[in-house]
Each structure stands twice: as C-alpha cells, then as structure tokens.
Amino acid sequence: MNDAVRISPTPPAVERKPQPVRQQPTSETANPETSAPDEVQAESEPPAKKAGIEYSKFDPSTPIAPEPQLENTSGLKDGAIPAGIRGWNWAAFLLAPIWGIFSGVPYTVILFGAFLLPPALQFSLVAAASVYLGFKGNELAWRGRKWRSVEHFREFQSKWSSWSIRITILFGLVFLYLAATGGNA
C-alpha cells in the first residue's frame, strides 16, 4: 500500500503577473519629495486633491497662496493700519464729538467746548477739526479702541456714517423750516 495517494487540500496555483521594473532615480531625476521607492504616485489624481492645496480654477497647475492672517493691531497706539481702513469717514466729519466718544477717540469731546468761543473762531475750529477727522478718523479710531476684526470695524463705522448723514439731513431740514417760517413754528 505504499502506492496510496494521499489527498490533502492545497491552494490552487496562483498566476502571477510580471511586475514592471522600477527605475532607480539618478541624481538628475531624483526629487526627494516626489520619488520614494515604495510609493506609487497617482498621476491621475487632480492636483486640488493632493495635500489639501487649493489650485487656480483657471490654471489647475498653479497653486493659490493662502492670504496671510494679519495680527489684529487695533487698540495699539503704534499699531499698523490694515488695508482698507484708511479713507474718508463721514461720521467723524459730521458728528465728530459724539462719534469720537464711541469710536475710541475721546479727545473729540473738546469740540463741545468750541461752542463757548466767539462765532468766527468757533466755526474755524470746528471746520478744521471736522475736515481733519474726516481724513484721519478711521486711523484714529482703529488705534483708539480694540476691534474684533477689520470687518467689525468697517461695519461699525458704516452704521455710524449712515446715521450721521441722516441726522445731519434732519437737522438741516429743521433749520431750513425754522428759517423759512421766521422761527415761528
């Protein structure tokens, strides 16, 4: 019985496909970021999916540099003024003393004292201060108070500008009405 065949379960023969031979990088073609002997790079994958980098929709091979996050320098006496802060401020021009209290420029309250001066000096002082604050008001307010962000600052100043224009128009209409009726309402 030595001729008996022993039957045991054996795995079926697996057919192996030949593997392509990888070329070793030379000093001319070696790139430490892109060539790794054990990695297979997926060239079919769109660039926007690689490493979480955003790419231009007009030129998919051009990465978009993220905008730098600037430090919030508001409230600092010598703090840098971000782009978009400089410019004319209607609220500072039209309602300087009141605007200054709420915008971090408290010395504008001194303008209330200008009404104690003679009329010619009063007009000159208030006009000069209003023009100066119109031009420099945003910068003074940015440095005079801590703001949450540039957007918060712009929103706050926009509301003040809107209301200062409305109040000035209302006072102008009341003044015209009183002038036309001779003060007899």
- Going by the DSSP 8-state scheme, the letter that residue 92 receives in this structure is H
Q: What is the pLDDT at residue 172? A: 96
- The answer to whether the CB of 99 falls within 8 A of the CB of 92 is yes
Q: What is the pLDDT at residue 67? A: 56
Length of the chain measured in residues: 185
Closest by CA position to 161, among listed 143, 139, 134, 142: 134
Q: Say how far apart CA 107 and CA 99 lie, in whole Å.
A: 11
Q: What is the pLDDT at residue 177? A: 94
Helix (H, G, I), strand (E, B) or coil at 113: helix
pLDDT (tens digit per residue) in 114-149: 889 999 999 999 999 999 999 999 999 999 999 999
Q: Say how far apart CA 106 and CA 90 lie, in whole Å.
A: 17
Closest by CA position to 77, among listed 7, 139, 154, 35: 139
Entry pTM = 0.58
Residue 29: how many CA atoms within 13 Å on its side-chain side? 6
Residues of the chain with pLDDT under 70: 1-52, 55-57, 64-70, 185
